[in-house]
Structure 1
Amino acid sequence: MDESPATVKARRVWDRTAPGYDRQIQFLERHWFTGGREWLGARAEGRILDVGVGTGRNLPHYPPAATVTGIDLSPGMLDHARRRAAALGRPADLREGDAENLAFGDARFDTVVCALVLCTVPDRRAALAEMWRVLVPGGRLLLLDHIGSTWPPVRAAQWLLERITVPTAGEHFTRRQRPLVEAAGFTIVEAVRLKAGSVERVHARKPVIT
């Protein structure tokens, strides 16, 4: 399948970022996304698909009995994820893949996790439609992302930051995922906004049609 220029650019950006990603994100996870990956792991179950697995920072938090598949655009990020999985003794199927075109059959997974990824995906609606498709009825969608703050001064700073990050890395700071999750047909189970409303955790389910 032909890739969009935005997808090709995103792979290039994340390949360049991969060697220093863990060092860069560690501070933000301690002070901004505090406890987010633990929150995701506590709700994930069964056959898990980690969309945008990156360097595998979610892997330590998944239940031992879960079966983990992870996809990422970046071969460089996946190299780090594979090393992390090996160090943890965590079996995981980690492969190249695009959130907008998931290479899996329908109703394949019990849980889809997407952490700090939809802020950079060019077509979020396509990605969420794919997540819906690969989830079993009743399956869980778990999201963690930075979003537009509820505090106007912070939101203004995010808007200014986007003048740099969107053209250079495709990264948005004023997006919000929840309305698109609901529009895709998911039912919200729980959602919380933190850090002046600039971080959101979403737990949603694909309804069971009877």
Structure 2
Amino acid sequence: MTGASDQTSKVLRAWERSAPTYDRKITSFEKGPFRGGREWIGERASGRVLDVATGTGRNFPHFPPSATVTGIDLSPAMLSVARQRAADLGRDVDLTHGDAEHLPFSDDSFDTVVCALSLCTIPDQVAAIGEMKRVLVPGGRLLLIDHIGSSWPPIFAWQWLLEQVTVRVVGEHFTRRPLKLVESAGFEIVEVERLKAGTIERVHARKLS
């Protein structure tokens, strides 16, 4: 338990530090390797939407106007930016401070659960995926986007070397491949896209029961 708690604290400190500059830094990546990812999510999200690790709320502009959006994040500083973004958009978003591994919501509460560019830093991704499934209604949609371990060995080797530093410093993983975990959790895979030499993955899955 102590190790898990230490990892969560490390991730929290990293996001608290990066909150003021996150939008500026991520913009270049969203024009490059992550291009179109948030739009991809928005096209598939509907109903009661839970945005896990909502960060600064960069998904908010892409959710359909008919959606009821709830966002949760570990970092109060990130939530503060998200709250301002929602206000600027004139969008009513229910923002909650909390942990993706222990979602403070009842079973079968949401029609869509989204997690964009965040499973790479959640210490226990198995627990987080299990929680996402728990709060989804039967037939509900899980939408994931993240950087993952490349399907090309030379790039995977470089990612492995990189994460020897990033995991220790900020808790960020580069070789994770969550698709198998989603399948093991009992989801039906509806759609998968792998881009940029297999380093970017988009997953659309459905909760069977």
After TM superposition, the structure 1 = structure 2 runs for residues 4-83 of structure 1, keeping only pairs within 5 Å, are 4-83=5-84
Which amino acid is the alignment partner of residue 9 of structure 1? K
What residue number does 2:125 align with? 124
User: Secondary structure of 2:108's match?
Assistant: coil
1:176 aligns to what? Answer: 177
> Aligned letter for 2:57?
G
- Conserved 8 A contact 2:10-2:169: no
Does residue 1:190 correspond to 2:187, yes or no? no
Q: Which residue of 2 aligns with 1:150?
A: 151
Q: Do the aligned residues in 1 keep the contact of 2:150 with 2:156 (CA within 8 Å)?
A: yes
Q: Could you report, residue by residue, the CA deviation over 1:35-60 in whole angstroms, capped at 9, with x for unpaired residues? A: 00000010000000000000000000
Deviation at 1:13, TM superposition (A): 1.0
SS at match of 2:99: coil
Contact 2:144 2:204 in 1 (8 A): yes
CA distance in 2, matches of 1:186, 1:103: 21
CA distance in structure 2 between the partners assigned to 1:118 and 1:58 by the alignment? 15
Q: What TM-score comes out, normalization by structure 2 length?
A: 0.97
Q: 2:73–2:97: 8 Å Cα contact kept in structure 1? A: yes
**Residue type at the aligned position of 2:17:** R
Instruction: Quote the offset at 1:8 in angstroms.
Output: 1.7
Per the TM alignment, residue 4 of structure 1 is displaced from its structure 2 partner at its CA by: 1.4
Instruction: Give the root-mean-square deviation of aligned CA atoms.
Output: 1.1
One-letter amino acid of the structure 1 residue matched with residue 67 of structure 2 = A
Residue matched to 2:95: 94
Any idea what SS the aligned residue of 2:157 has?
Answer: helix
Distance 2:104 2:63 in 1: 22
Q: Does the CA-based 8 Å contact 2:109-2:136 persist in structure 1?
A: yes
Supply the AA of the counterpart residue of 1:133: R
Q: Give ranges in structure 2 of 5+ residues lacking alignment.
A: none
User: What is the CA-CA distance between 1:86 and the residue it aligns to?
Assistant: 0.4
The DSSP-based 3-state class of the residue aligned with 2:8 is helix
The one-letter code of the counterpart of 1:16 is R
The count of residues paired between Structure 1 and Structure 2 equals 207
Secondary structure (helix, strand or coil) at the match of 1:45 reads: coil
Counterpart CA distance in 2 for 1:41 and 1:86 is 19
